[in-house]
Amino acid sequence: DNIILPGQREHAAICYEPDESKIVVFGGWANKWLDDAWALNVGAIVGPPYAVTSIKPALGPVTGMTKVTIEGIGFIDGVIVVRFIHHKHTIDVPATFVSSKEITCETPNVKHTIGHKTCEVRVQIGNKDFTTTFTTFDYFMNTVAEKSLAFGPGLLEELQMGVETMFVIQARNEKGENRKSGGDKFTVRITQKLPDQDEAQNLEHKFEDPDTGKYIVRYTAPAAGEVTIKVFYVDEEEKLRAIRGSPFEATFVEKAKNRANEMAGPVVGAFVAKALGELDTFQKSTEAGIKASVKEGDTKNLIKVRSHIREMEKQADALRTELDVLEETLHELDKEGLPADSNLKKVTALSEKIESLKGSAKKREKEIASNVAQEAEKTRQKIAQFQTELQQTQQSMKAESFYFYKTGVEGSLKR
């Protein structure tokens, strides 16, 4: 803050001091020159005597705590600060010296500041300036178990025992967007109960992370029967969170169709066709049921309409999951070289219709609210009337001797 500017001069001696990134000016024709030395810090322009070249890994969750290695040149031991920058937001974290080419640190939590953005990463050592060179770190939104899903032949029916099958876990963030990178922690438990065993046995499986946001699980069922698959996402607090649809039930038979256990096999194809048909039937029948006319006093049809509305509300999450599973399955089949465009268009159309149906259900519920209120009032009146009659009957019965078991044999014969 206390900057003093030197007076005008000429023929001054000038040199550059690289360790401190300073230009030193000495003497020159001015009022005095023998003890006339000045220093100009140009670290912010030329940078300090160290530089940043890369960061590994180059992406991580917005909640931070990702251990990263920053590579560069000229690093020295000391008080090291790593700065994450996005526009006006800056967050500093301490770092540890490893070598002249490496330092390590943990990424900061930026969930409520920078968010899922790309940051510049710069380094400062001691009282020197931050590097003019930088690398970038991409923050992504964390995976959310309730949004993630699984699909593939290994979760379906009529599979071939003794042959390896597979399924895919698709990680999604809180917005329901597919993750594009790996590194998530999932726990998969696959069990099968055999007839000659008291308890279900754990089946071994392989877990593959191709760093795409998708995770591949492979396993083999040794015998025919049901297999239970549970998939959990391990969150930032190391808690297990079940993904959508978990647990899953798969079935294995002694003689299945050829290639039944493969993604591009007949079992997955049959699942797609069946699911599309069931969704279409549900959408049409529910829409017709919700839109059915209800006349005043028509209790029977009123109950039917309300039943369809309640069913729509009840099935909303399951329908969304099934549509998402279908979409992911069809995209995977497309990668396998199978035609999927037609069915993808059907899924898109069904998604739009079902979303519209949810809105229609809410609108219809408001329309019949007065009818429901009238019928509810009638029902309350009937209940009150029945209760009054019941109390009257009870009082009249108390006047009878048999109510207190005092009628006796002779009285009973007379009655």
The long-range contacts involving 367-376, CB below 8 angstroms and separated by at least 24 positions, are 368/294, 368/302, 368/305, 368/306, 371/294, 371/296, 371/302, 372/302, 372/306, 374/296, 375/299, 375/302
Confidence at 16, pLDDT banded by 50, 70, 90: confident
Domain ranges of the chain: 13-46, 51-140, 145-253, 266-371
CA atoms within 13 A on the CB side of 403: 9
* Residue 263 in this model has a pLDDT that exceeds 80: yes
Equal fold, 145-253 vs 266-371? no
Helices 341-367 & 369-398 angle (0-180, nearest 10): 60
**What is the rounded CA–CA span in Å between residue 131 and residue 39?**
20
Segment holding 257, helix H or strand E: none
Separation CA 375–CA 369 (nearest Å): 10
The predicted model gives 238-243 an average pLDDT of: 96
pLDDT digits (tens, 9 = 90+) for 102-160: 999 999 999 899 988 999 999 999 988 899 899 999 999 889 999 999 999 999 999 99
Indicate the pLDDT class of residue 411, thresholds 50, 70 and 90. low
Provide the pLDDT for residue 101: 96
Spacing of C-alpha 239 from chain mean position? 14
**CB 347, CB 331: distance < 8 Å:** no
> Which DSSP state fits 283?
H
CATH fold for domain 51-140:
Immunoglobulin-like (2.60.40)
The correct CATH number of 266-371 out of 1.10.3470, 1.10.10, 1.20.58, 3.40.50 is 1.20.58
**Residue 254 pLDDT > 70, yes or no?**
yes
How far, in Å, are 116, 141, 143, 145, 244 from residue 175 at the CA level? 12, 9, 10, 12, 14
pLDDT per residue as tens digits for the range 186-239: 999 999 988 778 889 999 999 999 999 999 999 999 999 999 999 999 998 899
| pLDDT of 95 above 60 | yes
Average confidence (pLDDT) over 238-248: 96
Q: In a 3-state reduction of DSSP, which class is residue 328?
A: helix
Mean pLDDT comparison of 22-26, 84-88, 162-166, 180-184, highest-scoring range: 162-166
Mean pLDDT of 315-338: 95
- Looking at per-residue pLDDT, the higher value among 403 and 138 belongs to 138
CA 97/CA 66 separation, integer angstroms: 17
265 with 259: CB under 8 angstroms? yes
Look at phi and psi of residue 115 and say left if phi exceeds 0, alpha if psi is from -120 to 50, else beta.
Answer: left
pLDDT band at 409 (very low <50, low <70, confident <90, very high): low
Percent of the chain with pLDDT over 90: 65
Query: Looking at this protein, which amino acid is placed at residue 407?
Result: T
Alpha carbon distance 143, 62 (integer Å): 10
CB neighbours of residue 280 within 10 Å: 14
- pLDDT recorded at residue 401: 66
What average pLDDT does the structure give for the chain?
Answer: 90
Judged by average pLDDT, the poorest of 85-99, 244-258, 344-358, 391-405 is 391-405
- Residue that wins the pLDDT comparison between 44 and 274: 274
- pLDDT score recorded for residue 405: 66
Residue 406 has pLDDT above 70, yes or no: no
- pLDDT average, residue stretch 48-76: 93
- Is residue 335 exposed (0-12), middle (13-18) or buried (19+ Cβ within 10 Å)? exposed
Of 5, 71, 281, 240, the residue nearest 145 (C-alpha): 240
> Band of the pLDDT at 299, cuts 50, 70, 90?
confident
pLDDT at 414: 65
Q: What pLDDT, on a 0 to 100 scale, did the predictor assign at position 46?
A: 72
Would the CA dihedral through 171, 174, 175, 181 be positive or negative? negative
Architecture of the domain spanning 145-253: Sandwich (2.60)
Cβ of 373: how many Cβ atoms within 10 Å?
A: 10
DSSP states along 392-415: HHHHHHHTSGGGGT--HHHHHHH-
**What letters, b where the CB count within 10 A reaches 16 and e where it falls short, cover 172-181?**
bbeeeebbeb
What average pLDDT does range 293-315 have in this prediction? 88
**Banded pLDDT at 351 (limits 50, 70, 90):** very high
Average pLDDT over residues 391-405: 75
What number of other Cβ atoms are within 10 A of residue 164's Cβ? 14
